[in-house]
Each structure stands twice: as structure tokens, then as C-alpha cells.
Chains A and B, each alone.
Chain A
Amino acid sequence: MSKHLLATTLASAVIGAALAVPAHADVTIASWGGAYTMSQQKAYADTWSEGTANFVNYNGGLGEVRTQVESGNVTWDIVDVLPHEARVGCDEGLFEELPRDVFTPAADGTSMDDDIMVSVPNDCVVPQIFWSYVPFYQEGTFDGNAAGNPKTIADFFDVANFPGKRGIHTWGNALVEMALMADGVAPGDVYSVLDTAEGMDRAFAKLDTIKDHAVFWSSGAKPLELVTSGEVSMALAYNGRIGAAMLSEGAPFVINWDGQVLEEEWLAMLKGTPNADEALKFLIHASAPEQQAGQAKWITYAPMRTSGIGLIEAGEPWFNTGVNIMPLMPNAPAALSQMHLFADPDWWADNGDSISERFTAWMGQ
């Protein structure tokens, strides 16, 4: 009896395992989750006819990618990476180098790599979006304030004239740059100033001025809650989160583009993935101008491809709820006409660790 049972169990386990092997390969993409992944699902995966794309959530960094690639047990095919990881991953050989001529050119014939506002760091990555760290507040917060509403990044660091707490993140990216811009350094000089010991001290001295008024957040939804509840009067947040709250929920937020720090976001293929052919097809699809523009229907992150911005501009109102989206794009002409900075990933590759340590020490003092 028990033998019979064992045999049945074994047999069903074997059949089960056989069934679990997928009949045709899907593409697995590791991304950040939430509304961001939802926009990728709608704009890239749902419109893709050559296969099935599945998303898994991850928390950034190349730790998992490195483990998968070095052990030869690659389960993710594509990963959505920040500018720093886009460079390190290619330098260390964790990503596949991709042929550049297979990608869709812009309508006017400009190749993909020339259709991007920043220079492409290497042959491993394909463009995804621009996003930015940007200060914002809730309408009415500064009613009756003698100095009026805050407008510049200097106002963000000015707690005397613009009272209330400030919501800032628990790591140094964008904060040291903003501190210097608020202190009067021109965006073009920020990194050369930060390269000196005095410049770095100057940035942290500026951060000191808001430290006692700072509420620290570490997850992207938090600054919105902090501002909505009134716990802080102003906060830094990812521009897409603010935009999504404004467009989808009608949140009365005001974004100050002055002093924003723009960051790149790239897609890359893991080296040695068994689904390389399908993954490349997906990347070609996802990096085409139509799809680049399409994701902005769902979240206010900007396509990295210039022709994508053109499509949005021509197609307004672009957002899925039928409202204009250009005012919320971090790289729209209006936003870029104010003081802004494209974060320098090479500089951060050199100094990220030491700033992370210094920033942690600074927070805990």
C-alpha cells in the first residue's frame, strides 16, 4: 500500500516537474515595481507580440545580477538599472554587449544612440527613461508666509523664510549636488567643486542647515505621505511619484523644477541568459520611440529618446486620463530652462561609497 502510494507520488512529481518546464521561453525583466513597472507592463509588455514578458521586482543594485551571472544560473533576462549600475555592469562583464544597428531609428532616420539626450555609456545598455530628484510642496502650505511660495532650490534649504520640516532621502545622491546649487554654485561647476575637500565640506555644511528640520525617507512613496500629512512643508521625491499622484489622484502638489537632478535609467541584458534572442527582440521593441513615449501615458517619467518627447508633444493630451503631461516631464523644455543638473554617474562611481559612508555618519551625528 505504502509502496503504491510512494510510486504514485513520485510519478505525479515527475509529471508535475515536466509540466512546469515552459513550452516556449518567456522574457523575465527585473524592475522596481509599483506604478513604474505597471507603466512598463502597459507600454512594452502588453504591446509586444513576439513573446511574453514577465516582470519581477527587485531593489536595485547589481548584487543579484552578479550572483546569477557568475554562478551561470541566470534566471533574469533583462534588468532595469540606474546609471551607475549601467556602467559597472558593462565594465565587469555582467551584461551582454548588444549590436547597435538592430535598434529602431527615429522617424527622421537618426540612429537610436544619436537620438538620446546624453551620450550612451557603452554598448550594453538601451535607453529607458529620465527621472529626477525634485523638491515639491502642497498647495496652500505657504499661504500667508511673508516670503511667499518657495521657488528655487535655495528656498528648499532656507528654513528661516520657508518654515517647516524637509523630507529628504537617506542617501547622498542628488543631495550634495543640490546643496551646492543652493549655495550658489553653477550646475556646470558642481562636480569640480565636489572634487575638492573644501567643496565637499561646503556641501555638507549646507546640508547641516536643514539637518535639524529633516525627516528622512527611504521608500519612494514616503515623501508624498509626509507632504500630504503636513509633517513636512517640502520634500524631495522622484518626479514620477509626484506626477502620478497629481494626475491619477488629483493631489494638489507644486513641483519646483529649479535645482532638479536628473538621472538616467537603462535596460540591460544579463550575460549568458538562455533567452538572449527573445530578450534582444524585447529590447528592440521597448526602446523604439513609440514605446518610449507610450510609458509616459502611465507615469510621468520622460522618454530618454528625443523623438519620444516629440511624439508626446504632438500627441497631447498624452496621459491615459486625458490630461497634458509635458508640464510634468523633467526634460521638457520648460523644466530644462530652469537650473538643473544631469547627475554624473562616472563621478558617482568614484565617490559613491565614500559619500555613502560620510552621509550615514552625518545623519547619525
Chain B
Amino acid sequence: MTNSPPASVQPLLTADGIPLKTSLQRSMRRSKLRAIFLVLPPLIFLLSLFIIPIGNLLTRSTDDTLINYQLPLTFAMIDQWDRKTLPEENLFEAIYLDLSSLNKYLISDNFADSVDPNDPAWRVRIPKKGPYRDAMIEIDPRWQSASTWLPIHEIAMIGVNAQGTERERKNKARRVQFKICAYLTPLTNADCTKLYKVLQVWDGASEPDEALFEALYKDLRSANKFLVGKSSTRMNYGKPGFKSLIKKSSRKLKKVSEPPYRDAMIKADKRWGDVAFWQSLVTMQEPQTTGYYLNAVDRKWNKDHEIELQPAERRVYVMLWWRTFLVSLIVTVGCLILAYPVSHLLATLPLRYSNILMICVLMPFWTSLLVRIVAWMVMLQQEGVINDTLVMLGLPDENRLPMMYNFTGTVIVMIQILLPFMILPIYSVMKTIPPSYMKAAQNLGAPPALAFLRVYMPQTLPGVGAGVILVFIVAIGYYITPELVGGKDGRLIGNMVAYHMQKSLNWGLAAAMGSILLAGILLLYWIYDKIVGIDNMKLG
């Protein structure tokens, strides 16, 4: 406000005597509330189904805490090792304790504390057949007091007090068993059945007795088995062979109870005598790691905490990133070349022809993706329609063109599938350009080509920009088409993400690749904004 009214002037009043300002504010507030109310459902939708999963993805790509739960002592001691020769007895003892017994972490849930390898609690052995109480209290005296047990007792009571039919109560009790274990361990898929049983009869105040400790020990022990399973999957990403090494040794080490552990472990599996496995352990030490990002570009941490290339035969991701980028680029350019004239026709033809043309554009768009892919297979395969025609026209039979199950196939099919995403934005912009502009340019002496280049084309750029961005972004994450028609060299990074999500369960690597894709798209978006300006983009 430049001209604020003098204070003495009476404020403007509405008909009912309320100052106009207040009344205005009130009605504004009401409309704002209504706006928020209207926006709320999509906002919740976006938050719960998009933003939170993406945040989850980003954290998974650096998260390596699980393995640190499994091998705390080993990782605390491994820095003292020279990383060249076979480790001494003390490191063998550490990994033996980490693998064969319930470690202090699980019993005291003190993951945030730093690990003191000299703490005698690490070496307390809980007798397998009990009594458990004294040993566990020695590891963590907090378990002695009833108050430590109260939180899990409360969780158990939720199950006991569950309402509903017998079946519902049973299932609620079952979920509570998982919740108890999730409270005690980093796992959500372990079930503390024994604890649930004994906590029900415990009064919540008297001193915890042997029965409680036995249940605690046995449930943690079974959860630890799954932790070992998951850790070995993780360790196998670092060095193939760890999976069976851990499985085999944790079975055999049950019989070992006396030092020297070095000999016992090498006897259980001779790979413990292979220094390469130990060197690989060094790279898993950090709870927050950039290792998955490095893996996604064919690199890894080595034993000296330096970045090095993966072994030659495992280098595949850089090649796939380039291929993905290249395919997206070719598809985008291909779509643009094909879409521009079609959009122009759509925008300029008389209505009854342009309608037919529009249906031709939209029909494939509405057809199932799989149907279109199969149709392309029929057309492009070596015994397909196109090759048959070429052979009929004189192409030698043995020179049939390979156009399917390779790079070419992926590009052709993707161009056809993504074409409408290019045509529609360009068309919608062209539709708004009055034909009189071209006529005026020509009237003023421009030859048709120049008039097109200087007058018409610049006006279509917002649509072109929108189409290009849309097609490129969709193409770079494409998955199903390359999977079906990609064959030997047409599969993209998206297929690797799917492989690691579904098959190898290396979610860290999949998340890292997803994050890189996301970052790449944001980068392109930023470049586009700098060069063309995002305000210029028009989707219709």
C-alpha cells in the first residue's frame, strides 16, 4: 500500500456494520479453508503414495545398518588388522562371537552406542540349555529391573486384550508377536512367540524370572537366525561366496566352543583362510554407505577405503546407463520427427479429416501395451511381415534383417508407444496458432520456408518442449517394452532395477539406481529450464 489512509478516517463498513477489512479477511479465510480442503485428498495421496516412498527409497540406497547389527565386534576390531595378511586370532574370535552367539547389540539394543571391544559383556557365553538369567543380566544389567520389560509387556497386553471373533483375536495376537520382536530387534519379520506366551502371565511388576529370560533368549536366538540370513545375502553382494560361507559356518560353528577359533573356523570352511573375504568385510563397515551408488556405476570401495573399478566381467551398469540415455535420446528425436508433421496436419486439416486422423493417433494409445508389443513382434521378427516382404522383393533369405529382440526392436517399439505423448502437446499448441500469422509473413515477403522457420516454428516450441520432456522422462525409466523385445542388447537400466528389486533382493542397489535416475531427470529438467524456460512449456 502506498497511500495508507490517515488513522482518523473511519474504516469502511459493510452493510451489517462489520469493518470491510475484517469481513473480507473472514471470507478470504473461508475460501482458503475450502481450497485447502479441496487440495487435501490429492495432497494426502501424494504424500502417502509418492513422497514417502521416494524418501524411503533415498534412505535405503545408503543404509547398511543391518550388517552392523550382525557383526559389531568384527567391525570394531577390523581397523586394527593390516588388511594384507590373514587376520590374527582376535579377529577370528570377534567374527566367531558375532556369528555364533547372541551379541550384545541384540540383547541390549544399544545400536547407537559405540562398540568397546574390551567390554567383557561381548564375551559372556549364555549356556545353550540355560540357565539364561544370570548370563543375560551380566551382558546387560538393565534386564534385571521390571521396568525394562514393561514396554514389551504393554505390547503383549494389546494382543491379550484384543476384541473380535476368535479368528480375529488370534491374528491380532500373532501381529503382536511380530511387534515384540520388532521392538527388540531391527527385524519386522521375526515373531517373538515365546515372549508373548510368558509375558501374558507375568504381572508386570514382580522381578523378572528365569521363564522370561528363557523366552527372551530363545526368541532373540530365532530372530538372530534371520538376521544372519539377511546379512549373508548382503555380504554376498560384496563378495560372491559369502552366502554359503556364512550358512555353512554358522551350522558348523555350533559345535565349537573353545579357542583357538582361527583353526576351528578355517576347518569349518577353508574360505575363512582366504584373505579376499576378509578384505571384502572391510567395505561393509559403515552403517551409512555410498557403496550402492558406486556399485551402480561399476565401482566399489576396496579394502583401503579407496574407490576402484569392479572386476572387468562385472562391469555392466555404466554401459547400461549409456544405452538407456541413448535409447531415450533416439526415441525422443524419432518421436519429434514423426510427430511434428502429424500434429501440423491435425491442427490445420478441415475438421472431418482431422477427426479421423485424431482417432488414428488415439486408437493405438487406447490399445493394450502388450497387444501393441506383440503386433510389433509379428511385424519385425526375422520370419515376420517386413522381412518376408523384403525377401519377396529380392533380399537373400539368409540376410533377413534382425529387427526384434535387440536394440533396434526396442527403439522402434518405444517410438510407436510414446508417439502420442509427443503429438498431443504439440498439436494442442499448434491448434492455437492462427493460420493468418503465416499468411501475414508471406504477405510481408517471406518465402514459405522462412516464414515457417521464423514465424510458425518458434510459436510451436512450448509444445515441442513439453513433448520432448514428457517422452524423454517416460523413456528413460522404461521397463516392460525393453524386457519383452530387448533381447540381447536392448534391455535398459529399468530392467536391472526390476531385477534387483524382485530377484536379487539387493534393494540398496535398486534404490541407488532409482535415485540416480531421479537425479538425472531433475538435472535435465533444470537444464531445460535454463535453456528454454519452464514457463514456456505448454501441455495443452
Contact = CB atoms under 8 A, between A and B. Distances in A.
Nearest to A219: B484
Among A69, A200, A358, the most chain B Cβ lie within 10 Å of the Cβ of: A358
A229 interface: yes
B215 to A, nearest CB: 18
Interface in B287-325: 313-316, 319-320, 323
Interface string B377-393: 00001110000000000
A318 to B, nearest CB: 33
Contact of A364 (B236, B314, B316, B504): B316
B504 A353 contact: yes
A321 interface: no
A349 B241 CA distance: 8
B383 A92 contact: no
Interface string B167-190: 100010011001000000001111
Contacts of B241: 350-351
B90 interface: no
Contacts of A356: 499, 503-504
Interface stretch (B6-14, B71-79, B242-250, B464-472): B242-250
Interface stretch (B20-28, B225-233, B357-365, B420-428): B225-233
B174 to A, nearest CB: 6
B405 interface: yes
Contact of B314 (A59, A214, A352, A354): A354
B286 interface: no
Interface residues of A, number: 49
Contacts of A360: 316, 320, 491, 496
Contacts of B171: 274
A59 B313 contact: no
B189 A350 contact: no
Contact of A361 (B226, B313, B483): B313
A2 to B, nearest CB: 15
Interface residues of B, number: 52
Contact of B233 (A61, A92, A276): A92
B505 interface: yes
Given A218-B484, A350-B243, A61 B503 contact: yes
A218 B188 CA distance: 34
Contacts of A69: 189
Interface in A25-76: 25, 59-64, 66, 69-72
A207 B510 CA distance: 28
A66 B501 CA distance: 10
Contacts of B501: 61, 63
A15 B504 CA distance: 43
B163 interface: no
Among A64, A165, A230, A350, the most chain B Cβ lie within 10 Å of the Cβ of: A350
A214 B381 CA distance: 13
Contact of A216 (B316, B319, B487): B487
A216 B410 CA distance: 13
B129 interface: no
Given A346-B244, A353-B506, A93 B225 contact: yes
Interface string A1-41: 00000000000000000000000010000000000000000
B488 A71 contact: no
A352 B504 contact: yes
A358 B312 CA distance: 9
A60 B502 contact: yes
Contacts of A63: 501-503, 505
Given A61-B503, A91-B247, A71 B484 contact: no
Contacts of A117: none
A272 B175 contact: yes
Given A91-B229, A353-B237, A361 B315 contact: yes
Interface in B466-525: 483-484, 486-489, 491, 496, 499, 501-506
B244 A364 contact: no
B98 interface: no
A220 to B, nearest CB: 12
Interface string A82-109: 0000001011111000000000000000
A215 interface: yes
Contacts of B188: 70-72
Nearest to B489: A364
Among B174, B223, B243, B486, the most chain A Cβ lie within 10 Å of the Cβ of: B243
B260 interface: no
A72 B484 CA distance: 33
B505 A350 contact: no
A323 interface: no
B219 interface: no
A353 B488 CA distance: 18
A170 B486 CA distance: 9
A349 B489 CA distance: 25
A229 B380 CA distance: 13
A93 B186 CA distance: 13
B189 A93 contact: yes
A283 B247 CA distance: 27
Contacts of A170: 486-488, 491
Contacts of B316: 357-358, 360-361, 364
B504 A215 contact: no
Contacts of B315: 361
A215 B487 contact: yes
A73 B241 CA distance: 33
A350 B247 CA distance: 11
Interface in B56-111: none
B479 to A, nearest CB: 12
A217 interface: yes
A334 interface: no
A351 B236 CA distance: 8
B191 interface: yes
Nearest to A230: B383
Contacts of B383: 229-231
A272 B188 CA distance: 11
B398 to A, nearest CB: 10
B177 to A, nearest CB: 9
A360 B313 CA distance: 10
A141 B488 CA distance: 25
B408 to A, nearest CB: 13
A143 B152 CA distance: 75
Interface in B204-261: 223, 225-226, 228-230, 232-233, 236-237, 240-244, 247
A347 B504 CA distance: 14
B244 A363 contact: no
A48 to B, nearest CB: 20
B522 to A, nearest CB: 26
B55 to A, nearest CB: 16
Contact of A363 (B167, B174, B225, B488): B488
Given A230-B383, A274-B171, A66 B505 contact: yes
B488 A216 contact: yes
A91 B231 CA distance: 10
Contacts of B483: 218
A72 B240 contact: no
A285 interface: no
Contacts of A72: 175, 178, 188
Contacts of A276: 174
19 contacts: A62-B502, A63-B502, A70-B188, A91-B226, A91-B230, A92-B230, A93-B187, A93-B229, A170-B487, A218-B484, A231-B383, A271-B189, A274-B167, A274-B171, A353-B504, A353-B506, A354-B240, A354-B313, A363-B491
Q: List the 7 closest pairs (A to B, CB-CB), nearest first.
A: A91-B229, A93-B226, A61-B502, A63-B502, A216-B487, A361-B316, A229-B383
Given A63-B505, A351-B240, A363-B491, 12 more contacts: A64-B502, A92-B229, A170-B491, A229-B381, A231-B381, A272-B191, A349-B243, A352-B503, A360-B320, A364-B316, A364-B320, A364-B491
Interface of A: 25, 59-64, 66, 69-72, 88, 90-94, 165, 170, 200, 214-219, 229-231, 271-272, 274, 276, 346-347, 349-354, 356-358, 360-361, 363-364
